[in-house]
A and B are shown apart, each in its own frame.
Chain A
């Protein structure tokens, strides 16, 4: 992402945001609520187009892709939505199978087996026939993750995957995240407010502040950052920001 600007009406959300993500790494993006993290993530997959600047994935300019180019890109990307965004008129099994049905030559038996495998990876059992409205928030969130990983994507974009989950489930999700990276070489971008989780899963951490990149570095570099804004965020101490604009 290079010098990305995005505004909604008069409100400028991204003000020249730049970021490079290396193949095979997990990069967590932290930042205050409303700082534009989700907007940034949606640019990567072409759900939003920048007003200025460019976003390149695998060397291709996302804004210049036509419908079939975007479809091709999206086949390689799994997206975990903040509130799961499961299709509420479908069962959990049907939700997870949705992406698989876009893969040519995959028969129903293979789809069924893959759905069960993905659901068990996120610790969900016997929920195949249940509807999202019949499940808890944490279960719905895990089902959203199962749907995102079902097609075996090369890139995974997580929009707050652990927010609102219990500590045990957070660890399950984190382990799955690490496994995706280590065993399958999946590149991950994770938006999170959970610093413990960010430290566990990340190769690098970036902080977005007021529409721009405030800091980026390895876990250790961010942990030891002397930037008061970064310190205030990672330590949850607003008093460190006093006197700053």
Chain B
């Protein structure tokens, strides 16, 4: 705005501009979400791509997800053993590894790792398609780009994040168990006793609810920033960075939200 050039007004101008950008982004996000829901009807466009996306988002993410959770499980067991001293029974190591992996670290750390791998990849791919007019080309060929590009990715995220996170939790617990019996001088029965002691079936439900919401956030945010990319290579880089930053923040916010709402 030409009138707001006085240095004293600069902070107000910045706040105003940021507010407008936020409102615009919320509007665009809502529009994209509504369009994606509407595009669900075009099953002939999105259904053929769902398996490919499930592979790329789910199966191809397993190495990084399992790597993160395995080392988390190892560290958890070692730190639990270090912390639980004095009169605390040793089998609480199993309790701590199990509860923490299922309720918190399995879903959140895997979600964050996938925000980097999956969210960045979606934003970069769609962003490149946007700046090279491939998304416009889809429209001219009578394809709904939301049905072709967004629906299969989001659907694959919703389906595969719980699978990846469930496997990550399992590997984390197994890594904690192997660490306990090999490095902590603890027997398997003790670890399993601790694991079972405070186990509640709802913990798994809680983890899966979080996983589905993380899948939605990572694929949805990646699609949003990719779809609204402007500029060339720099724009794609910016969209990718924003997708990772925003989905990381939303994962942490959702994590707190689910804990407050369900526990």
Does chain B have a CB within 8 A of A79? yes
Q: Would you list the 5 A-B pairs with minimal beta carbon distance, nearest first?
A: A85-B133, A79-B140, A85-B137, A99-B141, A74-B142
* Chain B residues closer than 8 Å to A85, beta-carbon distance: 132-134, 136-137
Name the one of A47, A71, A87, A88 contacting B142, with C-beta atoms under 8 angstroms: A71
Does chain B have a CB within 8 A of A214? no
Task: Give A98 to B137 CA distance when docked, in angstroms.
Answer: 10
A45 to chain B, nearest CB (A): 6
Instruction: Report yes or no: A77 in contact with B38, Cβ–Cβ below 8 A.
Output: no
Q: Indicate the size class of the contact surface on chain B.
A: 10 to 19
Spell out A's residues near B (CB within 8 Å).
42, 45-47, 67, 70-71, 74-75, 77-79, 81-83, 85-88, 98-99, 102, 147-148, 151
Task: Give A81 to B138 CA distance when docked, in angstroms.
Answer: 12
Task: Give A214 to B82 CA distance when docked, in angstroms.
Answer: 81
Instruction: Report yes or no: A74 in contact with B134, Cβ–Cβ below 8 A.
Output: no
Instruction: Report yes or no: A88 in contact with B133, Cβ–Cβ below 8 A.
Output: no
Q: Which residue of B lies closest to A45 (CB)?
A: B140
Instruction: Report yes or no: A102 in contact with B143, Cβ–Cβ below 8 A.
Output: yes
* Chain B residues closer than 8 Å to A79, beta-carbon distance: 136-137, 140
Name the one of A75, A78, A88 contacting B134, with C-beta atoms under 8 angstroms: A88
* Chain A residues closer than 8 Å to B141, beta-carbon distance: 74, 98-99, 102, 147, 151
Instruction: Report yes or no: A98 in contact with B136, Cβ–Cβ below 8 A.
Output: no
CB<8 Å pairs between A and B, sample of 14: A70-B139, A71-B142, A74-B140, A79-B136, A81-B133, A81-B137, A82-B133, A83-B132, A85-B134, A87-B129, A98-B143, A102-B142, A147-B141, A151-B141
Name the one of A42, A77, A102 contacting B136, with C-beta atoms under 8 angstroms: A42
Task: Give A75 to B140 CA distance when docked, in angstroms.
Answer: 8
- List 14 other contacts, CB 8 Å, given A45-B140, A79-B140, A87-B129: A67-B38, A71-B144, A74-B139, A74-B141, A81-B133, A85-B132, A85-B134, A87-B137, A88-B134, A98-B141, A99-B142, A102-B141, A102-B143, A147-B141
Q: Which residue of B lies closest to A87 (CB)?
A: B134
B145 to chain A, nearest CB (A): 11
Instruction: Report yes or no: B133 in contact with A77, Cβ–Cβ below 8 A.
Output: no
A38 to chain B, nearest CB (A): 10
